[in-house]
Amino acid sequence: MQNFLPYRVESLGNSATPHVGLLTGYYEPVFEASRVLKPGFDVPLFAPPPQLKSRSPWYSREEISKLPAAQNALKGRVIAYVADPVDAMILHIQGSGRLWVAEKDGRRIQVRLAFAGTNDHPYQSIGRWLLDQNLTKDATWPGIKSWLSQNPKRVNELLWRNPRFVFFKEEPLSAASTMIGPKGAQGVPLTPGRSIAVDPASIPYGTPVWLSSSGPQTQLSRLVMAQDTGSAIQGAVRADFFAGSGDSAGDLAGRLKQDMRAWVLLPR
């Protein structure tokens, strides 16, 4: 720390507290999957179609479900199938994940799905829509799944509220890579509890950041690295905390929404 100087991060504008912002969380989900379409595993996860860049935006989530042209473009692009459309949505929102895949020969292996592109539609929160419609008071993933279990005929109505669709690429997992997260926007693997997503227009990738946040979900006062970004991460005092992989990380990430303060550490 002797070689760095801390500078408090503040937002531009007329806020009475420009140094106070919002901290949320994200994680790497882990789901069971199948290489082949079968009962119980019928929700596809796709690699990018060759024509993805031929039009922008590409087909919306609803159009992908309905239009033969979109479905024909995705023929042969299925990586694997998961059981639950909400689990697929979680993968789309988190941007990456891990799958325990049942192979055609009976083997069960774990692979990583890395972000490989989108249809260039804006992200819209399905949880926010449920709250705005007064359909639920619990917009966490367990709450969303609970609402859908009571309203199974409204699955598509809910999912289509988010037109953004994410495509993936498969990466093998070695013993070493299981201990770290997927690569972030900086191009380096994320470290659970030590990596954050930021707005790179405000905080450049690779910047060490002292993060302070106190709230009902967690108490944080630690050094982290700005290594990723996301469509919802905008502004100077705004960060997404990478919680790690699996259900416990997902529970923290899904509920984390509290005030934060940040100091960037710049070389003397």
Residue-by-residue DSSP string for 4-51: EEEEE---SSS-S-TT-EEEEEEEE-EEEEESS-BTTB-EEEEPPPTT
Do 44 and 152 belong together in one domain? yes
Q: 56-99 pLDDT, tens per residue? A: 899 999 999 999 999 999 999 999 999 999 999 999 999 999 99
Do 193 and 108 belong together in one domain? no
Do 39 and 154 belong together in one domain? yes
Do 88 and 211 belong together in one domain? no
CA 196 – CA 211 distance, rounded (Å): 10
Do 38 and 112 belong together in one domain? yes
Do 48 and 163 belong together in one domain? yes
Task: Mention every residue, 6+ apart, whose C-beta is less than 8 A from residue 68.
Answer: none
CATH number where 156 lies: 2.40.240.50
Domain that holds residue 126: 28-179
Do 207 and 110 belong together in one domain? no
pTM, to two decimals: 0.86
Pairing mode of beta strands 257-267, 21-28: antiparallel
Averaged pLDDT score across all residues of the chain: 93
pLDDT, mean of residues 26-55? 94
Structure token pair of residue 5: 């100087």
Q: Could you give the percent of the chain with pLDDT greater than 90? A: 83
Among residues 137, 158, 179, which one ends one of the domains? 179
Residue 105 — very low, low, confident or very high, per pLDDT cuts 50/70/90?
confident
**H or E element in which residue 249 lies:** helix 247-255
Q: Work out how many domains the chain is built from and give that number.
A: 2
Among residues 164, 179, 194, which one ends one of the domains? 179
- Cα–Cα distances in Å, from 239 out to 79, 215, 224? 31, 15, 11
Do 142 and 259 belong together in one domain? no
Do 34 and 110 belong together in one domain? yes
Sole residue written with tokens 């507290």: 17
Do 168 and 224 belong together in one domain? no
Residue 1 — very low, low, confident or very high, per pLDDT cuts 50/70/90?
low
Do 8 and 42 belong together in one domain? no
Do 166 and 224 belong together in one domain? no
